[in-house]
Chain A
Amino acid sequence: EPEVTQTPSHQVTQMGQEVILRCVPISNHLYFYWYRQILGQKVEFLVSFYNNEISEKSEIFDDQFSVERPDGSNFTLKIRSTKLEDSAMYFCASHPTKFTDTQYFGPGTRLTVL
Chain B
Amino acid sequence: AQTVTQSQPEMSVQEAETVTLSCTYDTSESDYYLFWYKQPPSRQMILVIRQEAYKQQNATENRFSVNFQKAAKSFSLKISDSQLGDAAMYFCAYCTGGSTLGRLYFGRGTQLTVWP
Contact surface of A with B, Cβ cutoff 8 Å:
31, 33, 35, 37, 41-45, 48, 50, 55-56, 89, 91, 93, 95, 99-105, 107-108, 110
Q: Is B100 interfacial (CB-CB < 8 Å)?
A: yes
Residues A43 and B101 in contact in the complex (CB < 8 Å), given A91-B45, A105-B45, A108-B43: no
Chain A residue numbers with a CB within 8 Å of B50 are 102
Asked whether, in the complex, the Cβ of B107 is within 8 Å of the Cβ of A95, the reply is no
- Say which residue of B95, B103, B107 sits within 8 Å of A42 (CB atoms): B107
Give, as a whole number of angstroms, the nearest-CB distance from A112 to chain B. Answer: 14
Contact status B43-A89, CB under 8 Å: yes
Interface of B with A (CB < 8 Å)? 33, 35, 37, 42-47, 50, 91, 93, 95-97, 99-109
A82 to B29, CA, bound (A): 37
B104 adjacent to A103 (CB under 8 Å) = yes
Chain B residues near A41: list those with CB within 8 A. 108
Q: What are 8 A-B residue pairs whose CB atoms fall within 8 Å in the complex?
A: A31-B101, A42-B106, A42-B107, A100-B96, A102-B35, A102-B50, A103-B102, A107-B43
The reply to whether A56 and B109 contact each other, CB–CB distance below 8 Å, is no
- List the B side residues contacting A56 at CB < 8 Å: 99-101, 103
Q: Which of B95, B100, B102, B106 contacts A43 (CB 8 A)?
A: B106
Contact B97 A100 (CB under 8 A): yes
Cα separation A103 to B44 with both chains bound (whole Å): 13
Q: In the complex the two chains form, what is the Cα distance from A107 to B44 in whole Å?
A: 5
